[in-house]
Chain A
Amino acid sequence: MSELLPPVIVGAGPAGIRAAERLVAAGLRPVVVDEAARWGGQIYRQPPEILSGAGFTRPKSALYGFEAGKADAVHRAMAAIRDRVDYRPRTLAWNCEAGALDLLSEGTSEVLPFSHLFLATGATDRVLPFPGWTLPGVFTLGGSQVALKFQGCAVGRRVAFLGTGPLLYLVAYQYLKAGVEVAGVFDTTPFAAQARATAGMLRDPATLAKGLLFVGWLRAHGVPIHNGVRPVRGEGAERVEALVWRDARGQERRTSCDAVAFGLGLRSETQLADLAGCRFRFDEADRAWLPERDGSGRSSVAGVYLAGDGSGIAGADAAELAGERAALALLEDLGRPVEAARVKELDGRLARIAAFRRSLSAAFPFPADWADAIADDTMICRCEGITAGAVREVARSGQAREMNRAKALTRAGMGRCQGRMCSATTAELLSRALGTGPDGVGRLRAQPPIKPLPVSAGAERREVA
């Protein structure tokens, strides 16, 4: 019976698309579910489609820069198989239970049983709080890029870029090219660490060259770049008016701006893997709990496959390769013939990216001391308005020694976003207060619905055929 069900892919980013392509080539007709209106995922997100009249006109070279060729290839790959997949855009998978997903589309909930589930759910920005981070005008780095790429908008007229990770310089560069004033790049990484790590990045000279180019371009245009920065606060009442920050020597400084683009790398979207029953492990490089996957993309649950940034941050190229690789594993598990040479090639390329990825995280380390500097009255949970002090208090008084308990007692992570924005912070605060490593305080259990579900969907459900 379950043999007759099509495989279901969640996520139409590079990982999901390359997986779908492989499955279609083997004669299967996968279902591809994505919350977004068009395929492409995060990095290769396409502008909105306008059916009649004037639409978005920037060419891919303007939208994706150096990655335009890859973006185009991924978009075309999906277009080419479009009529051989059951593609469900604007559809959120809000639950996974007993061999089926629950989908929400146009306000209606529907059950989609699967034999094989392929999770390519991607990632969003990882953040830690600073006073003022909830002010209008403070956006994530990824969000600031989405505004530009997807909407043709800048988040402000004079934007400060704060944080770490490859996106920091990339988005600053893209803003500058779009004619927006960049108030500065405020990199949390000390200069020396970056210089050291650059050596490791020589494994991938092309990426290194791009990174250097962004930095060079920014400098050439007079953009101040500061290393070893920590934010002090965002100032403003109704919207952000300035970023106050501490330089590497501990000097407090102020930069006026009308927007702050902020991020500390990415965090994987792992909720569906959790609900599907996948075993998790703590990943040092990502400083996060991730669903276990073997080299081929198999999870700990038979029939559930993981690929792309949703199960460990490795970037877009790796996502494409891992998507295809895990699809081959799925086919192998179905007893279909797979080309051994292709498997070997993919494995080799993924291994090289993994090595490069390690040096990237050395170049953009997570600012582990940040959490200590968060004042007790700083809001850490945007949804529920919970402060750092509340979390520290339940840790210090011995009431909470792990994440779910801290959530139960303080409400941090209990709001609409289900901890997406605060759980990195809570983990840091708890583990520092308790003197454990970041792996010592567990992880938030995922709960359905993984994103808010309209109450009206209860009356609007579609029964399983």
Chain B
Amino acid sequence: MALLQRVAEQGRRVVRFTLDGRPVEALEGDTVLTAMLTNGERLRRTEFADTPRAGFCMMGACQDCWVRTEEGERLRACGTFIADGMRLLSSGEWNS
């Protein structure tokens, strides 16, 4: 179930991207964080304990929201906007 709940501003254009290979939708103007957490429960798993994380501060301070794309790029989810065709991952790369 999604972590974030939309309560307003739902008339925006739909943006399509994939999350862990699964095609999903967000809205234009969503951050990657919003896009992922309205479709799932986490952004990543931690390097050291393999525990889930979903960001914390939403304003670029905690650095807890770094996610990966399938291409290996790293994005700070709360400060990056979602774009059509992004291929995002929320799984761990550490213990897989």
A residues engaging B (CB < 8 A)? 35, 37, 42, 47-50, 53-58, 62, 124-125, 134-140, 142-144, 146-148, 150-157, 178-180, 238-239, 258-259, 269, 382-385, 415-417, 420-421, 451-452, 454
B-chain residues with CB within 8 Å of residue A42 when the two chains form the complex:
59
Mark B50-88 against chain A: 1 for CB-CB distance below 8 A, else 0: 011111111111111010000000101011010000000
Q: Are B29 and A417 in contact (CB under 8 A)?
A: no
Number of interface residues of B (CB under 8 A): 43
By a beta-carbon cutoff of 8 Å, the part of chain B in contact with chain A is 3-13, 28-31, 34, 37-38, 41-42, 46, 48-49, 51-64, 66, 74, 76, 78-79, 81
The answer to whether B48 touches A384, judged by C-beta atoms less than 8 angstroms apart, is yes
Q: Is the CB of A50 within 8 A of B57?
A: no
Q: Knowing A53-B28, A452-B63 touch, does A139 contact B58 (C-beta < 8 A)? A: yes
Chain A residue nearest to B6 in the complex (CB): A153
Contact partner of B7 (CB less than 8 A), chosen from A50, A143, A154, A416, is A154
CB pair A239–B52 under 8 Å, yes or no, is: yes
A153: chain B residues within 8 A (beta carbon): 4-7, 34, 38
Q: What is the bound-complex CA distance between A180 and B7, given in angstroms?
A: 8
The residues of A that contact B55 with a CB separation of less than 8 Å are: 139, 143
A55 to B42, CA, bound (A): 26
Given the known A-B contacts A153-B7, A385-B49, A416-B66, are A238 and B59 also in contact in the complex, defined by CB atoms under 8 Å?
A: no
Whether the pair B46, A415 counts as a contact (CB closer than 8 A) is no
A136 to B41, Cβ gap below 8 A? yes
Closest partner residue, chain B, to A90 (CB atom): B79
Q: How far is the CA of A179 from the CA of B54 in the complex (A)?
A: 23
In the assembled complex, the Cα of A35 lies from the Cα of B63 at a distance in Å of 14
The 5 lowest CB-CB distance pairs between A and B, nearest first, are A152-B9, A136-B54, A143-B58, A416-B63, A152-B8
CB neighbours of A58 from chain B (8 A) = 8-9
Whether the pair B3, A137 counts as a contact (CB closer than 8 A) is: yes
B44 smallest CB distance to A (angstroms):
10
Point out the residues of chain A lying under 8 angstroms from B9, CB to CB.
Answer: 47, 56-58, 151-152
Is B57's CB under 8 angstroms from A124's CB? Answer: yes
Assembly CA distance A417 to B66 (angstroms): 11
| Nearest opposing residue in chain A for B58, CB measure | A143
The smallest beta-carbon distance between A92 and chain B, in angstroms, is 8
List, sorted by A's number, 21 A–B pairs whose CB atoms are closer than 8 Å: A37-B81, A48-B29, A62-B8, A134-B53, A134-B56, A137-B3, A138-B56, A140-B58, A140-B62, A142-B59, A143-B57, A143-B58, A146-B59, A150-B58, A152-B7, A152-B10, A156-B5, A239-B52, A383-B64, A416-B66, A420-B63
Most buried by A among B6, B8, B28: B8
Q: How far is the CA of A238 from the CA of B90 in the complex (A)?
A: 13
Residues of B within 8 A of A238 (CB): 41-42, 52
Q: Do B79 and A55 touch (CB < 8 A)?
A: no
CB contacts (< 8 Å) of B13 on chain A: these are: 50, 53-54
Q: Which residues of B contact A152 (CB under 8 A)?
A: 6-10
* B41 → A minimal CB distance (Å): 5
Alpha-carbon distance between A146 and B48 when the two chains are bound, in angstroms: 29
